[in-house]
């Protein structure tokens, strides 16, 4: 090989290595900035409820929970405990690394664009007033944003799916595409990342519910505009999933 072509080949290899390292670094390895901003800080909060600390128990193996997981659509009216709510929310978005505010589910580029809402029915949760609450993972609290039982409205928004009204609680997962796009301007990429994160959260909710003797079902069928109204969502949040949770009816 001529001296000149060897030089060109070496330059191409060097450039390719540089590009791979640069892209890999910019996507996955950027230094971690501690993200402790709740995007809902501007919204009116009616009251704040402290959740009991989440327990790391060994009730059931992950294998067993995966084996037992099945979508449940028939719920009894038996209320669930505040500890159950705490565990479900922790599994969905709880902070598991307080130094970096990293959470129970993975997040592309540690952007954390997801929010969780609790829609608690009348006597849905022991010692908790019916209403809609935003989960604040930073201090593991519930922020009440709407008073009263909203399950009927929610089930209407979910194309009249009856189990949304029957379950003592529903968890709603929302995503902020704008927050992800701030870091990843490619719209396809950032949209995909947010949708994937909803899936991670959903599976954690399923498995946590199963391990506590509860049941749930992923609901992706609903009218966005009605959901936005009921939950009083900020303009940058899109509803992605509803998870009714409760004890399975016999
Ligand atoms: C993205 C997605 C959307 C879904 N939407 C609904 C829904 O709107 N209503 C419903 O009853 N089930 C819904 N499901 C649950 C599926 O019907 C259920 O997972 C499927 O029947 C398989 O049953 P299994 O979960 O018990 O394995 C959804 C599941 C996924 C993954």
Instruction: Return the residue matching tokens 């940058």.
Output: 236
Tens digits of per-residue pLDDT, 32-60? Answer: 444 445 555 567 999 999 999 999 987 89
Distance 221 CA to ligand 1 centre (A): 9
Checking if the pLDDT of 180 tops 50, the result is: yes
pLDDT at residue 29, as a whole number: 46
Distance 218 CA to ligand 1 centre (A): 5
Query: What is the CB neighbour count within 10 angstroms for residue 186?
Result: 10
- In a domain, residue 7? The reply is no
Checking if the pLDDT of 24 tops 80, the result is: no
Number of domains in the chain: 1
Find, among 117, 174, 176, the residue nearest to 143 by Cα.
Answer: 117
H or E segment to which residue 131 belongs? strand 131-136
* Ligand 1 lined by 24 (C-beta under 6 Å): no
- In a domain, residue 25? The reply is no
Tens digits of per-residue pLDDT, 55-73? Answer: 998 789 999 999 999 999 9
Q: What is the mean pLDDT of residues 17-22?
A: 59
Q: What is the mean pLDDT of residues 198-221?
A: 98
Distance 100 CA to ligand 1 centre (A): 34
Instruction: Return the residue matching tokens 């565990």.
Output: 87
- CA distances to 2, 37, 101, 134, 140 from 34, rounded to whole Å, are 53, 9, 6, 21, 17
- In a domain, residue 148? The reply is yes
- In a domain, residue 89? The reply is yes
- Domain extent, residue 56, equals 31-246
> Of the given ranges (17-31, 87-101, 109-123), which has the lowest mean pLDDT?
17-31
Give the CATH number of the domain where residue 185 resides: 3.40.109.10
Q: Sign of torsion, CA 191 85 170 149? A: negative
- In a domain, residue 91? The reply is yes
- In a domain, residue 11? The reply is no
- In a domain, residue 1? The reply is no
Distance 216 CA to ligand 1 centre (A): 10
The Cα 214–Cα 202 span in angstroms is 14
CB-based contact 96:53 (threshold 8 Å): no
Tell me the percentage of the chain whose pLDDT exceeds 70: 88
- In a domain, residue 214? The reply is yes
* Ligand 1 lined by 161 (C-beta under 6 Å): yes
């Amino acid at each position: 090989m001529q001296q000149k072509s060897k030089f060109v080949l070496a330059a191409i290899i060097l450039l390719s290595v540089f590009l791979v390292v640069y892209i890999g670094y910019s996507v996955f390895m950027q230094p971690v900035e501690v993200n402790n901003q709740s995007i809902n800080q501007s919204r009116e909060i009616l009251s704040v409820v402290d959740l009991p600390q989440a327990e790391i128990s060994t009730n059931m193996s992950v294998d067993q929970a995966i084996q037992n997981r099945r979508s449940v659509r028939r719920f009894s009216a038996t209320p669930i405990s505040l500890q159950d709510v705490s565990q479900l929310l922790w599994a969905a978005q709880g902070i598991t690394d307080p130094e970096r505010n990293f959470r129970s589910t993975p997040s592309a580029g540690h952007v954390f664009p997801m929010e969780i809402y609790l829609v608690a029915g009348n006597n849905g949760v022991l010692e908790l007033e019916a209403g809609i609450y935003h989960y604040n993972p930073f201090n593991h609290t519930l922020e009440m944003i709407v008073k009263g039982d909203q399950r009927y409205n929610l089930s209407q928004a979910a194309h009249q799916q009856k189990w949304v009204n029957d379950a003592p609680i529903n968890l709603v997962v929302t995503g902020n595409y704008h927050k992800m796009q701030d870091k990843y301007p490619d719209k396809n990429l950032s949209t995909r990342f947010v949708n994937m994160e909803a899936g991670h959260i959903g599976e954690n909710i399923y498995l946590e519910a199963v391990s506590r003797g509860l049941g749930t079902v992923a609901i992706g069928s609903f009218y966005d505009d009605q959901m936005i109204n009921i939950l009083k969502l900020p303009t940058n949040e899109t509803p992605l999933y509803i998870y009714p949770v409760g004890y399975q009816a016999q």
